[in-house]
Protein backbone atom coordinates (compact mmCIF):
# COMPACT_ATOMS: atom_id res chain seq x y z
CA UNK A 1 0.00 0.00 0.00
CA UNK A 2 1.34 3.41 -0.88
CA UNK A 3 1.44 5.67 2.15
CA UNK A 4 0.72 9.26 1.24
CA UNK A 5 0.93 11.87 3.94
CA UNK A 6 -1.60 13.97 2.05
CA UNK A 7 0.50 17.11 2.04
CA UNK A 8 -0.66 19.73 -0.41
CA UNK A 9 1.21 22.98 -0.97
CA UNK A 10 -0.18 25.90 -2.94
CA UNK A 11 0.71 29.54 -3.24
CA UNK A 12 -2.03 31.86 -2.10
CA UNK A 13 -1.53 35.63 -2.39
CA UNK A 14 2.21 35.08 -2.64
CA UNK A 15 2.39 33.08 0.58
CA UNK A 16 3.11 29.37 0.79
CA UNK A 17 0.34 27.42 2.44
CA UNK A 18 0.57 23.88 3.71
CA UNK A 19 -2.62 21.91 4.04
CA UNK A 20 -1.94 19.02 6.35
CA UNK A 21 -4.48 16.26 6.66
CA UNK A 22 -5.25 14.33 9.81
CA UNK A 23 -2.47 11.77 9.27
CA UNK A 24 0.30 14.31 9.05
CA UNK A 25 -0.71 16.39 12.05
CA UNK A 26 -1.87 14.77 15.27
CA UNK A 27 -2.34 11.35 13.74
CA UNK A 28 1.14 11.06 12.23
CA UNK A 29 2.91 9.78 15.30
CA UNK A 30 1.46 6.28 15.14
CA UNK A 31 2.50 6.13 11.49
CA UNK A 32 6.22 6.37 12.25
CA UNK A 33 6.70 4.63 15.59
CA UNK A 34 7.14 0.87 15.21
CA UNK A 35 4.97 -1.41 17.36
CA UNK A 36 6.56 -2.37 20.67
CA UNK A 37 5.75 -4.62 23.64
CA UNK A 38 4.23 -3.02 26.78
CA UNK A 39 6.70 -1.35 29.18
CA UNK A 40 8.40 -3.96 31.37
CA UNK A 41 8.55 -2.53 34.94
CA UNK A 42 11.63 -4.62 35.75
CA UNK A 43 13.50 -3.24 32.74
CA UNK A 44 12.48 0.30 33.70
CA UNK A 45 13.96 -0.32 37.17
CA UNK A 46 17.17 -1.62 35.59
CA UNK A 47 17.45 1.50 33.43
CA UNK A 48 16.80 3.64 36.51
CA UNK A 49 19.68 1.86 38.28
CA UNK A 50 21.90 2.38 35.23
CA UNK A 51 21.15 6.12 35.19
CA UNK A 52 21.45 6.52 38.96
CA UNK A 53 24.92 4.92 38.94
CA UNK A 54 26.12 7.12 36.04
CA UNK A 55 28.25 10.10 36.93
CA UNK A 56 29.35 11.09 33.42
CA UNK A 57 26.62 9.80 31.14
CA UNK A 58 26.99 10.10 27.38
CA UNK A 59 23.79 9.70 25.37
CA UNK A 60 23.69 8.99 21.65
CA UNK A 61 20.38 9.48 19.84
CA UNK A 62 19.13 8.49 16.39
CA UNK A 63 16.01 8.73 14.26
CA UNK A 64 13.97 6.73 16.77
CA UNK A 65 13.98 9.63 19.22
CA UNK A 66 12.22 11.86 16.65
CA UNK A 67 9.58 9.47 15.26
CA UNK A 68 7.32 10.42 18.17
CA UNK A 69 7.58 14.03 16.94
CA UNK A 70 6.16 12.85 13.60
CA UNK A 71 9.43 12.57 11.64
CA UNK A 72 9.76 9.23 9.83
CA UNK A 73 13.06 7.36 9.90
CA UNK A 74 14.64 5.33 7.12
CA UNK A 75 15.12 1.97 8.74
CA UNK A 76 12.44 1.02 11.25
CA UNK A 77 10.80 -2.27 10.43
CA UNK A 78 7.49 -1.85 8.58
CA UNK A 79 7.16 1.93 9.15
CA UNK A 80 10.56 3.26 8.00
CA UNK A 81 10.81 4.72 4.51
CA UNK A 82 12.94 1.82 3.24
CA UNK A 83 10.05 -0.45 4.16
CA UNK A 84 7.34 1.75 2.62
CA UNK A 85 8.89 3.04 -0.60
CA UNK A 86 11.65 2.12 -3.03
CA UNK A 87 13.19 5.57 -2.71
CA UNK A 88 16.80 5.93 -1.60
CA UNK A 89 18.26 9.04 0.05
CA UNK A 90 20.44 11.55 -1.79
CA UNK A 91 24.09 10.59 -2.28
CA UNK A 92 26.81 13.12 -1.44
CA UNK A 93 28.78 12.58 -4.68
CA UNK A 94 25.70 13.02 -6.88
CA UNK A 95 24.78 16.27 -5.12
CA UNK A 96 28.25 17.80 -5.39
CA UNK A 97 28.78 16.78 -9.05
CA UNK A 98 25.43 17.56 -10.63
CA UNK A 99 23.49 20.83 -10.88
CA UNK A 100 20.28 18.99 -11.96
CA UNK A 101 20.56 16.75 -8.88
CA UNK A 102 20.89 19.86 -6.68
CA UNK A 103 17.90 21.46 -8.43
CA UNK A 104 15.77 18.38 -7.76
CA UNK A 105 16.96 18.18 -4.17
CA UNK A 106 16.27 21.85 -3.39
CA UNK A 107 12.87 21.86 -5.12
CA UNK A 108 11.77 18.95 -2.94
CA UNK A 109 13.42 20.39 0.14
CA UNK A 110 11.70 23.76 -0.46
CA UNK A 111 8.29 22.09 -0.49
CA UNK A 112 9.02 19.94 2.55
CA UNK A 113 10.64 22.67 4.63
CA UNK A 114 7.55 24.28 6.27
CA UNK A 115 6.45 20.84 7.46
CA UNK A 116 9.89 19.57 8.42
CA UNK A 117 10.91 22.72 10.28
CA UNK A 118 7.65 22.91 12.22
CA UNK A 119 8.26 19.71 14.20
CA UNK A 120 8.53 20.06 17.94
CA UNK A 121 10.47 18.11 20.57
CA UNK A 122 8.66 15.21 22.25
CA UNK A 123 8.95 14.06 25.89
CA UNK A 124 12.19 12.18 25.09
CA UNK A 125 13.94 15.37 23.91
CA UNK A 126 12.61 17.28 26.92
CA UNK A 127 13.75 14.56 29.32
CA UNK A 128 17.32 14.63 27.96
CA UNK A 129 17.40 18.42 28.13
CA UNK A 130 16.23 18.18 31.74
CA UNK A 131 18.96 15.63 32.54
CA UNK A 132 21.52 18.11 31.23
CA UNK A 133 20.06 20.93 33.31
CA UNK A 134 20.31 18.76 36.43
CA UNK A 135 23.92 17.78 35.72
CA UNK A 136 23.12 14.15 34.90
CA UNK A 137 24.00 14.24 31.22
CA UNK A 138 27.69 14.74 30.43
CA UNK A 139 27.36 14.93 26.65
CA UNK A 140 24.70 14.32 24.00
CA UNK A 141 25.56 13.12 20.50
CA UNK A 142 22.80 12.95 17.91
CA UNK A 143 22.74 11.45 14.45
CA UNK A 144 19.62 13.51 13.68
CA UNK A 145 19.57 16.67 11.58
CA UNK A 146 16.17 17.94 12.76
CA UNK A 147 17.33 20.41 15.48
CA UNK A 148 14.81 18.96 17.96
CA UNK A 149 17.41 18.61 20.76
CA UNK A 150 18.35 22.27 20.28
CA UNK A 151 14.68 23.26 20.29
CA UNK A 152 14.32 21.38 23.60
CA UNK A 153 17.20 23.40 25.07
CA UNK A 154 20.09 20.86 24.95
CA UNK A 155 23.46 22.65 24.73
CA UNK A 156 26.07 20.01 25.58
CA UNK A 157 25.33 18.61 22.15
CA UNK A 158 27.18 17.40 19.05
CA UNK A 159 25.14 17.08 15.86
CA UNK A 160 27.20 14.34 14.26
CA UNK A 161 25.58 14.65 10.83
CA UNK A 162 24.99 18.42 10.91
CA UNK A 163 21.67 20.21 10.91
CA UNK A 164 19.06 20.92 8.22
CA UNK A 165 18.50 24.35 9.76
CA UNK A 166 21.86 25.54 8.37
CA UNK A 167 23.03 25.93 4.76
CA UNK A 168 26.65 25.63 3.62
CA UNK A 169 28.32 27.09 0.50
CA UNK A 170 30.32 24.31 -1.19
CA UNK A 171 32.89 26.82 -2.48
CA UNK A 172 33.54 29.38 0.29
CA UNK A 173 32.15 27.45 3.25
CA UNK A 174 29.89 30.25 4.47
CA UNK A 175 27.10 29.07 6.77
CA UNK A 176 23.68 30.71 6.59
CA UNK A 177 20.32 29.98 8.24
CA UNK A 178 17.99 27.74 6.26
CA UNK A 179 15.08 30.11 6.96
CA UNK A 180 16.84 32.85 4.96
CA UNK A 181 17.20 30.51 1.98
CA UNK A 182 13.46 29.75 2.09
CA UNK A 183 12.78 33.46 1.58
CA UNK A 184 15.16 33.55 -1.40
CA UNK A 185 13.38 30.50 -2.90
CA UNK A 186 10.02 32.26 -2.57
CA UNK A 187 11.31 35.43 -4.28
CA UNK A 188 12.81 33.43 -7.17
CA UNK A 189 9.78 31.12 -7.61
CA UNK A 190 6.69 33.32 -7.15
CA UNK A 191 4.33 31.21 -9.24
CA UNK A 192 5.79 27.77 -8.68
CA UNK A 193 3.51 25.23 -7.09
CA UNK A 194 3.84 21.58 -6.39
CA UNK A 195 2.10 18.73 -4.71
CA UNK A 196 4.00 16.55 -2.29
CA UNK A 197 3.17 12.90 -1.90
CA UNK A 198 5.48 11.84 0.87
CA UNK A 199 8.10 13.28 3.18
CA UNK A 200 11.49 11.83 4.09
CA UNK A 201 13.46 12.36 7.32
CA UNK A 202 15.66 14.96 5.62
CA UNK A 203 12.72 17.11 4.53
CA UNK A 204 12.70 15.71 1.01
CA UNK A 205 9.47 15.13 -0.95
CA UNK A 206 8.40 13.56 -4.26
CA UNK A 207 7.94 15.83 -7.34
CA UNK A 208 7.54 15.36 -11.11
CA UNK A 209 10.36 16.18 -13.56
CA UNK A 210 8.39 19.15 -14.96
CA UNK A 211 7.93 20.65 -11.53
CA UNK A 212 11.63 20.27 -10.77
CA UNK A 213 12.87 21.73 -14.06
CA UNK A 214 11.00 25.01 -13.60
CA UNK A 215 12.35 25.52 -10.06
CA UNK A 216 14.96 28.29 -9.65
CA UNK A 217 17.80 27.64 -7.18
CA UNK A 218 19.79 30.59 -5.77
CA UNK A 219 23.56 30.39 -5.25
CA UNK A 220 25.80 31.67 -2.45
CA UNK A 221 25.22 35.41 -2.09
CA UNK A 222 28.90 35.94 -1.19
CA UNK A 223 30.76 33.96 -3.89
CA UNK A 224 28.14 32.50 -6.26
CA UNK A 225 28.97 28.92 -5.28
CA UNK A 226 26.45 26.06 -4.99
CA UNK A 227 24.53 25.65 -1.72
CA UNK A 228 24.12 22.48 0.29
CA UNK A 229 22.33 21.81 3.56
CA UNK A 230 24.93 21.63 6.36
CA UNK A 231 24.35 17.90 6.79
CA UNK A 232 26.27 14.74 5.97
CA UNK A 233 24.53 12.95 3.12
CA UNK A 234 24.88 9.21 2.55
CA UNK A 235 28.32 8.67 1.05
CA UNK A 236 29.66 11.82 2.71
CA UNK A 237 32.04 11.89 5.67
CA UNK A 238 31.76 13.40 9.12
CA UNK A 239 34.31 16.16 9.80
CA UNK A 240 37.38 14.44 11.39
CA UNK A 241 37.67 17.12 14.10
CA UNK A 242 34.11 16.38 15.12
CA UNK A 243 34.86 12.64 15.24
CA UNK A 244 37.93 13.29 17.46
CA UNK A 245 35.88 15.54 19.71
CA UNK A 246 33.21 12.88 20.26
CA UNK A 247 35.82 10.15 20.83
CA UNK A 248 37.28 12.33 23.61
CA UNK A 249 33.84 12.82 25.19
CA UNK A 250 33.24 9.05 25.05
CA UNK A 251 36.58 8.37 26.77
CA UNK A 252 35.75 10.91 29.50
CA UNK A 253 32.31 9.38 30.07
CA UNK A 254 31.61 6.54 32.51
CA UNK A 255 28.52 5.09 30.79
CA UNK A 256 26.74 5.24 27.47
CA UNK A 257 23.03 5.19 26.68
CA UNK A 258 21.84 4.76 23.09
CA UNK A 259 18.36 6.16 22.40
CA UNK A 260 16.44 5.40 19.22
CA UNK A 261 19.20 4.16 16.94
CA UNK A 262 19.77 0.80 15.27
CA UNK A 263 23.48 1.81 14.98
CA UNK A 264 23.61 0.57 11.39
CA UNK A 265 25.59 3.62 10.24
CA UNK A 266 29.28 3.36 11.05
CA UNK A 267 29.64 7.07 11.91
CA UNK A 268 27.66 6.41 15.08
CA UNK A 269 28.55 2.76 15.63
CA UNK A 270 32.29 3.51 15.97
CA UNK A 271 31.66 5.40 19.22
CA UNK A 272 29.92 2.35 20.65
CA UNK A 273 33.06 0.37 19.83
CA UNK A 274 35.19 3.02 21.59
CA UNK A 275 32.90 2.84 24.64
CA UNK A 276 33.17 -0.96 24.61
CA UNK A 277 36.97 -0.84 24.34
CA UNK A 278 37.02 1.58 27.29
CA UNK A 279 34.81 -0.84 29.30
CA UNK A 280 31.91 1.60 29.65
CA UNK A 281 28.59 -0.02 30.51
CA UNK A 282 26.24 0.38 27.52
CA UNK A 283 22.44 0.51 27.65
CA UNK A 284 20.30 0.62 24.51
CA UNK A 285 16.76 1.92 24.19
CA UNK A 286 15.50 1.13 20.70
CA UNK A 287 12.45 -0.61 19.26
CA UNK A 288 13.91 -3.52 17.30
CA UNK A 289 17.38 -5.06 17.14
CA UNK A 290 20.55 -2.97 16.84
CA UNK A 291 24.07 -3.66 15.63
CA UNK A 292 25.33 -3.52 19.24
CA UNK A 293 22.77 -5.55 21.20
CA UNK A 294 25.51 -8.04 22.13
CA UNK A 295 27.67 -5.24 23.60
CA UNK A 296 24.91 -3.86 25.84
CA UNK A 297 24.33 -4.76 29.47
CA UNK A 298 20.72 -3.60 29.10
CA UNK A 299 18.37 -3.47 26.09
CA UNK A 300 14.88 -1.97 26.14
CA UNK A 301 12.34 -2.06 23.29
CA UNK A 302 10.10 0.87 24.23
CA UNK A 303 9.07 4.22 22.74
CA UNK A 304 11.67 6.77 23.95
CA UNK A 305 9.08 9.41 24.79
CA UNK A 306 7.20 7.01 27.08
CA UNK A 307 10.21 5.60 28.88
CA UNK A 308 12.70 8.45 29.43
CA UNK A 309 10.30 10.72 31.37
CA UNK A 310 9.82 7.83 33.85
CA UNK A 311 13.50 7.96 34.82
CA UNK A 312 14.50 10.08 37.82
CA UNK A 313 17.80 11.81 36.88
CA UNK A 314 18.80 12.63 40.49
ZN1 LIG B 1 30.17 30.95 -1.15
Domain range for 252 is 41-310
Report if residue 191 sits inside a domain: yes
Which CATH number covers residue 64?
A: 3.40.50.1220
Report if residue 22 sits inside a domain: no
Partnered with residue 163 across adjacent β-strands are 230
Q: pLDDT at position 198, please?
A: 59
- At a CB cut-off of 8 Å and minimum separation 6, what does 119 contact? 66, 69, 70, 71, 146, 148
Q: pLDDT at position 6, please?
A: 35
Report if residue 36 sits inside a domain: no
**Is 297 marked as binding a ligand?**
no
Number of domains in the chain: 1
Report if residue 7 sits inside a domain: no
Residue 135 CA to its chain's centroid (Å): 25
Report if residue 54 sits inside a domain: yes
Q: pLDDT at position 2, please?
A: 34
Report if residue 46 sits inside a domain: yes
Q: pLDDT at position 195, please?
A: 60
- At a CB cut-off of 8 Å and minimum separation 6, what does 166 contact? 175, 176, 177, 178, 229, 230
Q: How far is the CA of 181 from the centre of ligand 1 (A)?
A: 13
**Is 146 marked as binding a ligand?**
yes
Q: How far is the CA of 219 from the centre of ligand 1 (A)?
A: 8
Query: pTM of the prediction?
Result: 0.84
Q: pLDDT at position 19, please?
A: 35
Q: How far is CA 48 from CA 230, 283, 310, in A?
A: 36, 11, 9
Q: pLDDT at position 306, please?
A: 93
Report if residue 28 sits inside a domain: no
Q: pLDDT at position 172, please?
A: 98
Instruction: Tell me which residues of the chain have a pLDDT lower than 70.
Output: 1-31, 74-88, 194-204
Among residues 161, 165, 197, 247, the one annotated as catalytic is: 161
Report if residue 157 sits inside a domain: yes
- At a CB cut-off of 8 Å and minimum separation 6, what does 30 contact? none
Q: How far is the CA of 229 from the centre of ligand 1 (A)?
A: 13
Amino acid sequence: MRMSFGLTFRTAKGRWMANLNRQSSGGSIGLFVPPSPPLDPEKVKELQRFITLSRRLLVMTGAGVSTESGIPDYRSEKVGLYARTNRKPIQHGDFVRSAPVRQRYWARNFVGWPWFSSHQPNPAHWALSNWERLGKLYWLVTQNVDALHTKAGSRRLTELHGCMHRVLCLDCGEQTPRTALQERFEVLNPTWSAEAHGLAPDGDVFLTDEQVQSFQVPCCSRCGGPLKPDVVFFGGTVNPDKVDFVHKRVKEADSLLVVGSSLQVYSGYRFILTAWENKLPIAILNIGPTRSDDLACLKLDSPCGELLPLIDPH
